[in-house]
Amino acid sequence: MLVEDDEFSAMVTMQVLKGYCGIDLVETGEDALECAKKKKYDVVLMDIGLPGMGGLKAAGILRLMPGYENTPIVALTAFAMSGDREEFLKGGCSHYLSKPFAVSDLLNLVKSLVTETC
């Protein structure tokens, strides 16, 4: 699942992963939690700066949901200041990739995470 409110970022991310894995796109943290109740995702790519419920809060709640205790949640965010990565990892995300990212970095990360969960 990709949780991303920016149309351009969502388009780029989905284009990179097209043909490699199926991906559901939602734009809010609230929608991510609703989708996670209905379907089990192998990996969640979570933008942190979402409107309404932020991505970090959504990741923390998702982490408490049955079946998501160990699911990889990647903070996919433009927040790249000193300490941001540590905050996101402490808040429920298991991985971090800052925007703008190299296409190969995203693809390699998702491939490794999908391989680990299967």
Structure tokens that stand for 53 in this block: 């419920």
Structure tokens that stand for 95 in this block: 């991985």
Each residue's pLDDT, cut to its tens digit, for the chain (118 residues) gives 999 999 999 999 999 998 888 899 999 999 999 999 999 999 999 999 999 999 999 999 999 999 999 999 999 988 788 888 999 999 999 999 998 889 999 999 999 998 765 4
| Segments forming the whole domain that contains residue 104 | 2-110
> What is the percent of the chain where pLDDT is above 90?
81
- Residue 117 forms part of a structural domain: no
Residue 16, domain CATH: 3.40.50.2300
- Residue 28 forms part of a structural domain: yes
What does the DSSP assignment read for 53-90? S-HHHHHHHHHHSTT-SS--EEEEES--STTHHHHHHH
Total domain count, the chain: 1
DSSP 19: T
Distance CA 112, CA 60 (A): 22
Phi/psi zone of residue 67: left (φ > 0), alpha (ψ -120 to 50 degrees), beta? left
Structure tokens that stand for 40 in this block: 């089990």
